[in-house]
Chain A
Amino acid sequence: MANLFVEGKYGDKGIILGNEAIARGALEAGVGYASMYPGTPASEIIITLDKNKKYIKNIYTEFSLNEHISLHGAIGASWSGIRSLCAMKNVGLNVASEPAHFLAYTGVKAGLVLAIGSDPGAPSSSNEQDDRWYSLHTYMPILEPSNIQEAKDFTKKAFEISEQFSFGIILMAPSRLCHNAGILHFGDCLDRDLISGNFKRDPENYLNLFNLAVKNHKKYLERNELLKKYANTSELNIIIDAETGSRNHYRGNNHRIGFISSGVIYAHLIEALNFINADNYKILKLGITFPLSEELIKRFLNDLDEVVIVEEAEGFLEFQIKKIAFEIGYRGKIHGKNIFNAYGELTVDDVIKGAANFLKKPPPEYFDTAVKNLEMISDKIPQRMGTFCVGCPHRGSIYSILKASGYSNTDSKDRDVIIAGDIGCYTLGLLPPYNAMDWLTCMNSGLSIGQAISIADKSKKIIALVGDSTFYHSGIPVLMNAVQNNSNILYIILDNSWTAMTGHQKTPSTKIDIDGISNPNAINLKDLLKSLGISYIKTIDPNNVKRFSVLIKEALKEKGLKVIIAKRECILQEERRNKINKIKNVKLNNKPEIIYELQKERCVKCNECFVELACPAIQLKKEDDNKEFYFIDTIACVKCGVCYEVCPNGAIRKVEFNLHSLINSEPQVNLLNNKENKTELKIIT
């Protein structure tokens, strides 16, 4: 199959990820500008367009340095008459909230869609915030698709609505849609030859000050009223009758009930009502969840005695609908957050239980069996924590920091050295066995909060951590603030050259891309730091753990602001590039191979490698006599050599051999003793 994402047209269908469906919707709508700061679960929206850009005419994609810039970029494109798509994760809107709050004042020219990946249950976020609440003051309309097909169709439609009412428009997709896959029926794409920018001055809308701002405020409130009228009749909002579609069923003395829902929760609701064999109900499925049309809600509520609003988080729909119900004098009951949790993901089970409870149907009895089964057996199985990849440079960094501060392998509450964290791959160091971080909130919270603690509690030493992508995102002002105020803090920038967690987007630190092409615009981090007037700057390879921990100890003794750059490329990218190079360059295959081997007869199980360093390639196995021993899984091992360095007993040895020679001739074995009394086996011919 050719590249269906790019070449698909009306009549084609395929299985596609939610994020890809959003990207496809934008493509069908003729998007010309697509930008984001990467963030799970939304990343693949722009990744999909970016990786296909060489097949798409007239498209520009950008992984911006942060969401503020990214949304502004989309606004600039829109003002130039280019349809633009900006994507971000839920907390991204906090950063982009400033442009978001001006967008209604200025309006748009070409359609602007802001796709937001929310994350109920927080499987990949530091909070569960529901960004829909922003729209109560940004007045950005919200569309909520409930499945893969709608993800594409609604995105396409969103561009039209955006242009029609001159609002930037939000397309809301939770992780459960972004990372779901399903069947998509493709539509046709707009003619991409027609995409061409032309910025025209529009001072009336773009200049906002004094009475100009007030005038534009009034104007967008009027546009919002027009949009409500649209929402009243739009096919994106639908009323579903559970029986025949006729209203006869609801006549008489029946107690009439209804459900209101949106997005993927609507899909759960349909499944749940089928599951418990519910009948005699109506559903209002809202595709536009802001603004709500009073007329539509009135129409739906009018012939119902009781209504349940099924949604995640704090009840954004319930808040709006209760207000409307009050205004129209609705006498029935409205339920919502009294039935469903305001926290965590709402699963299909939660909806089944909630709906069964409300309908006074017996909850499926086997729920109890299932829960009991699970409890009986699973409480003995500990959580399988995520950890750094094998060979990840962050493992070396976190290990060194813990060794230097003396807190390795403890979750003690009483520490004299504070390890301040924020967002990034390295944040996994907060998990056991490292228990390294003292807090985790938002981007660049490490140094910002740390600066204040260095003033508030002078008895503590503070190490603030940041990854390179996060540093460039919004860390430079924080660092300048630390310089200005001469903060007494050790700042470690963990520079792995990529925004790794979200699938390896480039950062300003990326000097060589995955194909080996160097980036002439790469920023020299050390020069940047120097230019800020920082005098204490050291650079180190984090896999050099002994030197690194000595360096940290020394730095902690110094007063003032100290910066260490722990520089080593993300191992996944390095490996990928090597793989590509190996295919291209046969000569590289001649390089000697290395194997690290854990000799069980020399291992005293001191746990330095298994528990303290905790590399997943070092594993535990039982022998036949039930004795346990450690070994290195040579398939998983990427030969970073850190375990070799940390082993205090010389039990891990490095074996070097040349594959070609091994195949071609009889090898000679040569044992070399190095100065640390570790045996190095070198097979040379």
Chain B
Amino acid sequence: METNQSILICGIGGQGVVLSGKIISLSAFYENYDVKTSEVHGMSQRGGSVSTHLRYGEKIFTPLISMHSADIILSFDLYETIRYIGYAKKETKIITASEGKYIRGSSSNQIKLPSPKSIIDKIKIDLNLKNLFAIDIEKIALELGNIKVANTILIGVSSQFTYIKEHTWLSILKENVPAKTTDINEKAFLLGRKMLN
């Protein structure tokens, strides 16, 4: 049973939450694990919060992760990380973008959002969730030459906490990104994978 892993992927519509879920689940499937995912559709293209629950292992009944039991939280937006923090336990690896996209208020633009630094401190210190890795993916992706590989970097980072082998990740990644971008995606993935070493 201990081979089961629960991965929660979150972000905003359009950031690649669904595609990331697909890449992870196909990788797990390729290695003969049972895998189940659950997505919330509807707002996916319209700027709302989007999340995917993904569980893989020997035998999975429900794809839904219960509170306090995610093994990995993979978040493309720091503010979204907060929304799903109830799924984290002490050991959870929280791999998150270090920045969050501005959230529009209801009738004025004057919402004061906490600063990224204060959020990270709060999660690490107040909530005692030490395994938080905040990564400036946009900056790194731009340095690599394509902002769109930002999420691939995060998948790379999280990959080392899974039971899935590197060559599996790479072959699935290649099959599922646009043909023109396979090289840069591979680079981004490997960069992420080695980042925490």
- Say whether A432 contacts B68, CB under 8 Å: no
Q: How far is the CB of B116 from chain A (nearest CB, A)?
A: 11
A410 within 8 Å of B by Cβ? Answer: yes
A54 within 8 Å of B by Cβ? Answer: no
Query: Number of A interface residues, CB 8 Å?
Result: 63
Q: Given the known A-B contacts A40-B41, A180-B38, A614-B104, are A373 and B83 also in contact in the complex, defined by CB atoms under 8 Å?
A: no
B105 within 8 Å of A by Cβ? Answer: yes
Contact of A367 among B29, B34, B68 (CB under 8 A): B68
Q: How far is the CB of A680 from chain B (nearest CB, A)?
A: 28
Chain B residues within CB distance 8 Å of chain A:
12-13, 21-22, 25-26, 29, 34-43, 45-49, 60-68, 79-80, 82-83, 85-89, 101-109, 111, 113-114, 119, 122-123, 126-127, 129, 147
- Say whether B66 contacts A352, CB under 8 Å: yes
Q: How far is the CB of B179 from chain A (nearest CB, A)?
A: 13
- Which chain B residues lie closer than 8 Å to A514 at the CB level? none
Chain A residues within CB distance 8 Å of chain B:
14-15, 40-41, 123-124, 147-148, 175-176, 179-183, 264, 267-268, 270-271, 274-275, 347-349, 352, 364, 366-367, 369-371, 373-374, 376-378, 380-389, 409-411, 428, 432-433, 435, 572, 607, 610-611, 614, 616, 619-620, 635
- Say whether B66 contacts A275, CB under 8 Å: yes
Contact of B46 among A369, A386, A607, A610 (CB under 8 A): A386
- Say whether B127 contacts A377, CB under 8 Å: yes
Residue of B nearest to A373 (CB): B127
Residue of A nearest to B26 (CB): A15
Q: How far is the CB of A281 from chain B (nearest CB, A)?
A: 16
Residue of A nearest to B175 (CB): A1
- Which chain B residues lie closer than 8 Å to A616 at the CB level? 47
A181 to B79: give the CA distance in the assembly, Å. 26
- Say whether B40 contacts A179, CB under 8 Å: yes
Helix, strand, loop or mixed for chain B's interface?
A: loop
Q: List 24 A-B contacts (CB under 8 A).
A: A40-B41, A176-B38, A179-B40, A183-B29, A183-B34, A270-B61, A271-B62, A370-B68, A370-B86, A370-B88, A373-B85, A373-B88, A376-B122, A381-B83, A383-B49, A384-B80, A384-B103, A385-B104, A386-B46, A389-B47, A428-B46, A433-B107, A611-B104, A611-B109
Q: Given the known A-B contacts A123-B42, A370-B68, are A611 and B108 also in contact in the complex, defined by CB atoms under 8 Å?
A: yes
- Which chain B residues lie closer than 8 Å to A607 at the CB level? 108-109
Q: Which of A377, A388, A432 has the most CB of B within 10 A?
A: A377
Residue of B nearest to A500 (CB): B45
- Say whether B46 contacts A387, CB under 8 Å: yes
- Say whether B46 contacts A267, CB under 8 Å: no
Q: Given the known A-B contacts A148-B36, A370-B67, A377-B85, are A620 and B109 also in contact in the complex, defined by CB atoms under 8 Å?
A: yes
- Say whether B48 contacts A268, CB under 8 Å: no
Q: Given the known A-B contacts A176-B64, A387-B47, A389-B46, are A382 and B105 also in contact in the complex, defined by CB atoms under 8 Å?
A: yes
A175 to B86: give the CA distance in the assembly, Å. 23
Q: Given the known A-B contacts A15-B29, A267-B61, A377-B122, are A432 and B82 also in contact in the complex, defined by CB atoms under 8 Å?
A: no
A182 to B64: give the CA distance in the assembly, Å. 12
- Which chain B residues lie closer than 8 Å to A183 at the CB level? 29, 34-35
Q: Given the known A-B contacts A176-B64, A373-B86, A374-B86, are A124 and B42 also in contact in the complex, defined by CB atoms under 8 Å?
A: yes
Q: Given the known A-B contacts A373-B86, A386-B46, are A348 and B64 also in contact in the complex, defined by CB atoms under 8 Å?
A: yes
- Which chain B residues lie closer than 8 Å to A428 at the CB level? 46
Q: How far is the CB of A63 from chain B (nearest CB, A)?
A: 18
Q: How far is the CB of A575 from chain B (nearest CB, A)?
A: 12
Q: Which of B104, B114, B126 has the most CB of A within 10 A?
A: B104
Q: How far is the CB of B168 from chain A (nearest CB, A)?
A: 14
A278 to B83: give the CA distance in the assembly, Å. 31
- Say whether A179 contacts B39, CB under 8 Å: yes
Q: How far is the CB of A274 from chain B (nearest CB, A)?
A: 8
- Say whether A182 contacts B37, CB under 8 Å: yes
